[in-house]
Amino acid sequence: MYAEVLTRVLTQVAVVVGILLLTSIALFVGRGRLVETAREWRSRLRATAPAVAVLAAVLGLNRVVRWRGDEIEGAIGFHMTETFYDLEGEFVLLFQSIATEELTAYFSFIYVYGYAFLLIFPGIAYFALSDTRTFRRLLTAYSLNYVLGLAFYLLVIAYGPRNVMPEELTVTMLYDNSPEYQHLTREVNRNTNVFPSLHTSLAATVGVFAYITRSSYPYWFPVAAVLAASVAISTMYLGIHWAIDVVAGLVLAGVCVRLSGVLVGRQPVARFRRYLDRRPTPRDDRE
């Protein structure tokens, strides 16, 4: 039963996100960039392979540690649920006063489908740019988000509002309105992984990059900004994160974007070739 529901949800997500991606590629990327990418994809892939490999390794490590991190959390983690509640109180319950069926449906869609689309599309769009630095920076920022987020998840043990105030959040709670989604989120997250909100940090990261690249993709920026803001709000509206988690996610996004600019250089292949050209030619001992 569980496997059947999970398969159905994954298929539904893949179809919806696939439609959104195809539509956005046509609207924002355009035929010209696609044709150029088809000619240059090998060289771009070589230039970006290290960043792709690092992100893949980080995602693999993240999955393993999250599901086998109980012992680590027990040894080094700090229980912060009561602290967060004492600091914030019932702020997230403010969303109950504006809750409607339409808003709940919108934020549920954003949390699952919009979030997945928001993370995937920039990778396609920036790979289509002739300068690979933005694409490499994006992947590096993603990797940093996951690494730093994982470190906080191991150090900070905290439950979200849906676990602390389930009775008060029945109107908007994601799993009460769309119970099938819990099968999906269970595969990628745990109840104690709330600080910081990675949904918020990764969405905000995309929003910042959309602003940085607004000259290349002017129409994508407002769309990304609305989606990123909606993702952050959805985490509180649906009772998944505290406002403290969201603020921490915004700070994490800023740090990761900044570090990606420091860590990722320009034109790595050209620089490596210049390095080889400067190397002295070995002397032939037979001369």
Q: Residue 250 has which token pair? A: 């915004």
pLDDT score recorded for residue 160: 85
DSSP 107: H
Q: Report the percent of the chain where pLDDT is more than 70.
A: 79
Q: CB–CB of 200/242 below 8 Å?
A: no
Asked whether residue 6 is domain-assigned, the answer is yes
CA distance 213 to 88: 35
pLDDT score recorded for residue 211: 97
Residue 180 has pLDDT above 80, yes or no: no
Q: What average pLDDT does the segment 202-215 reach?
A: 97
pLDDT single digits (tens) 269-279: 445 445 445 65
Asked whether residue 282 is domain-assigned, the answer is no
272 vs 198, which has greater pLDDT?
198
Beta bridge partners of 156: 78
pLDDT single digits (tens) 20-62: 999 999 999 999 999 999 999 999 999 999 999 999 999 998 8
List C-alpha distances in Å: 140 to 7, 56, 262.
Answer: 30, 11, 10
Closest CA to 88 of 158, 11, 137: 158
CA atoms within 13 A on the CB side of 31: 0
- The pLDDT-based confidence of 284 (bands split at 50, 70, 90) is very low
91 vs 206, which has greater pLDDT?
206
189 vs 157, which has greater pLDDT?
157
pTM for this entry: 0.86
Residue 285 has pLDDT above 50, yes or no: no
pLDDT score recorded for residue 72: 66
pLDDT single digits (tens) 114-128: 999 999 999 999 999
CA atoms within 13 A on the CB side of 197: 28
Alpha helices (H) along 77-132: 81-88, 101-109, 115-127
Q: Which element (helix H / strand E) includes 277? A: helix 268-278
Burial code of 86-118, b = ≥16 C-beta within 10 A, e = fewer?
eeeeeebbebeeeeeeeebebbbebbbbbbbbb
Alpha helices (H) along 156-242: 161-164, 174-177, 181-188, 198-212, 220-237
Q: Out of 71-80, 138-147, 212-221, 247-256, pick the least confident.
A: 71-80
Asked whether residue 214 is domain-assigned, the answer is yes
Instruction: Domain of residue 220: give its range.
Output: 2-275
Return the axis-axis angle of helices 220-237 and 101-109, rounded to nearest 10°.
110
Asked whether residue 287 is domain-assigned, the answer is no
Q: Report the percent of the chain where pLDDT is more than 90.
A: 53
Q: Residue 230 has which token pair? A: 């909606």
271 vs 228, which has greater pLDDT?
228
Q: How many domains does the chain have?
A: 1
H helix and E strand count, the chain: 14, 2
Asked whether residue 15 is domain-assigned, the answer is yes
Across the chain, mean pLDDT equals 85
Asked whether residue 242 is domain-assigned, the answer is yes
Residue 287 has pLDDT above 50, yes or no: no
Residue 130 has pLDDT above 80, yes or no: yes
Q: CB–CB of 118/224 below 8 Å?
A: yes
pLDDT score recorded for residue 273: 45
